Amino acid sequence: MLSGLADGREVLFVGGKGGVGKTAVASALGLALARGGRRVLVVSTDPAHNLGHLWGRPVGDETVELAPLLRGLEIDPARTTDEHLSAVRATMHRLMPEHLQGEVTRHLELARDAPGTHEAAVLERIAEVLEGRHPDELVVFDTAPSGHTSRLVALPELMQAWTEGLLRRQDRSARFGAALRGLQGRPRQDAGERAAADILGSPPGGGQAAAPDRRSRRDAEIRRILDRRQARFAELRAVLQDPARSAFVIVLAAERLPVLETVELHEQLTRAGMSVGALVVNKRSPADAGDLLAARRELEEGYLGQLADALPHLPVTQVPLLPEEVLGADGLGRLAAFL
């Protein structure tokens, strides 16, 4: 049973090919655990949110109660990106001289639609959710389709490496600046220092002491910002790559493309250091409901045989095709009985 995956863990990710029922499985699992006494937060990171539709109530970027001990949240990528860029803009405007702020704003506007910007913003939001979780709460992430998810889970390592590079560059810049100032001495302000004073906005007549002071304060704040980001991504990466703290559940249909995509997603997650805990085969055709569905069932058995050959070590939970639509707590409760 999938509920055993939650024991002692902080995070479960539910992902797979689009349209296989990831949101329903994530919600049903969360409901089953909540009814068993565990606090659960179900978070959708899919831009095409279905969490609110599934529960029949508004769910947005602020947590709402879905059932006793169960909360829901939909991360809005556009809003998250806007807030992320606004925070970056505010920081850059505080650190940069006034005459460069327009250039900063133009650069950030161009970055809004750059590849990876939305994923980086969503990653920051995921980190915030995990940092703000109740100590006893399990967070179940209902993720976007496979390609988006594989990029997202690889980002913490990439962002940590990128931040480490920035820190090294900042350290080298600070050492070079200190050495240059030592070589130049302080008897008078030369042309380079006057230019630096102008860029940093030093007051007239105070350039000799004010520019280095302001530069050192700016460098110290940049260092603090980078250190905070480094710590955040390092912690997120540690959570994702610790099988005792997190696991991934892949949901699929017993069809050719979902099976092939499941094997590929498993490889991508493994390369990213994540532990895949289980597979859920959703909407299995019954063998005793007429010739059409029986033939369909036999076809599905062949695809599941391929899956077992490719991933023999993973437990597989099979969920039958249910007669009723899975909606609301009642429908999700019926689905949860098979998890």
Per-residue pLDDT band at 125 (split at 50, 70, 90) = confident
Residue 178 has pLDDT above 60, yes or no: no
Q: Give the burial class of 271: count Cβ atoms within 10 A of its Cβ; 0-12 exposed, 13-18 middle, 19 or more buried.
A: exposed
Q: Is residue 328 part of a domain?
A: no
Q: Are residues 252 and 150 in the same domain?
A: yes
Q: Are residues 106 and 253 in the same domain?
A: yes
Residue 51's pLDDT is: 93
The better pLDDT of the pair 326, 174 is held by 326
Which residue matches tokens 């699929």? 252
Q: Are residues 25 and 146 in the same domain?
A: yes
pLDDT > 90 fraction of the chain, expressed in percent and rounded: 46
Q: Are residues 142 and 186 in the same domain?
A: no
Q: Are residues 278 and 189 in the same domain?
A: no
Q: Is residue 130 part of a domain?
A: yes
The better pLDDT of the pair 67, 178 is held by 67
Residue 228's pLDDT is: 76
Per-residue pLDDT band at 214 (split at 50, 70, 90) = low
Residue 171's pLDDT is: 62
Residue 144 has pLDDT above 50, yes or no: yes
Residue 200's pLDDT is: 37
Please state, in angstroms and as integers, the Cα–Cα distance from residue 204 to each residue in 100, 211, 310, following that order: 19, 11, 72
pLDDT digits (tens, 9 = 90+) for 17-34: 888 999 999 999 999 999
Q: Are residues 212 and 94 in the same domain?
A: no
CA distance linking residue 99 with residue 218, whole number of Å: 16
Q: Are residues 72 and 215 in the same domain?
A: no
Structure tokens at 4: 């055993």
Closest CA to 74 of 32, 35, 23: 23
CA distance linking residue 245 with residue 275, whole number of Å: 10
Residue 255 has pLDDT above 70, yes or no: yes
> DSSP state, 4?
G
Structure tokens at 192: 């380079």
Which residue matches tokens 């937060």? 41
pLDDT digits (tens, 9 = 90+) for 64-79: 999 999 999 998 877 8
Closest CA to 9 of 164, 239, 199: 239
Q: Are residues 120 and 200 in the same domain?
A: no
* C-alpha of 34 from chain center: 23
> DSSP state, 201?
T
Please state, in angstroms and as integers, the Cα–Cα distance from residue 11 to each residue in 131, 196, 245, 314, following that order: 12, 48, 6, 19
Q: Is residue 339 part of a domain?
A: no
Residue 157 has pLDDT above 90, yes or no: no
Per-residue pLDDT band at 55 (split at 50, 70, 90) = very high
CA distance linking residue 64 with residue 224, whole number of Å: 34
The model's pTM: 0.78
Range of the domain at 175: 166-229
Q: Is residue 34 part of a domain?
A: yes
Residue pair 41/133 in contact by the 8 Å Cβ criterion: yes
Mean pLDDT of the chain: 81
Residue 46's pLDDT is: 80
Q: Are residues 135 and 195 in the same domain?
A: no
Residue 54's pLDDT is: 95
* C-alpha of 319 from chain center: 27
pLDDT digits (tens, 9 = 90+) for 270-293: 988 889 999 999 999 999 999 999
CATH number reported for the structural domain that contains residue 115 in this entry: 3.40.50.300
Q: Are residues 88 and 223 in the same domain?
A: no
Q: Residue 35 — φ and ψ, nearest 5°?
A: -65, -20
Residue pair 209/96 in contact by the 8 Å Cβ criterion: no
Question: Looking at the 3D structure of the chain, how many domains does it have?
Answer: 2
Mean pLDDT of 50-55: 92
Q: Residue 192 — φ and ψ, nearest 5°?
A: -65, -40
Q: Is residue 298 part of a domain?
A: no
Helix (H) or strand (E) segment spanning residue 34: helix 22-35
Helix (H) or strand (E) segment spanning residue 1: none
Residue 111's pLDDT is: 67
Residue 194's pLDDT is: 43
Q: Are residues 133 and 180 in the same domain?
A: no
Mean pLDDT of 317-333: 94
Q: Is residue 292 part of a domain?
A: no
Q: Is residue 159 part of a domain?
A: yes
Per-state percent for the chain, helix, strand, coil, to nearest 5 = 60, 15, 25
Closest CA to 29 of 338, 336, 337, 246: 336
Q: Are residues 158 and 223 in the same domain?
A: no
Q: Is residue 103 part of a domain?
A: yes
Residue 86 has pLDDT above 50, yes or no: yes
Q: Residue 15 — φ and ψ, nearest 5°?
A: -150, 180
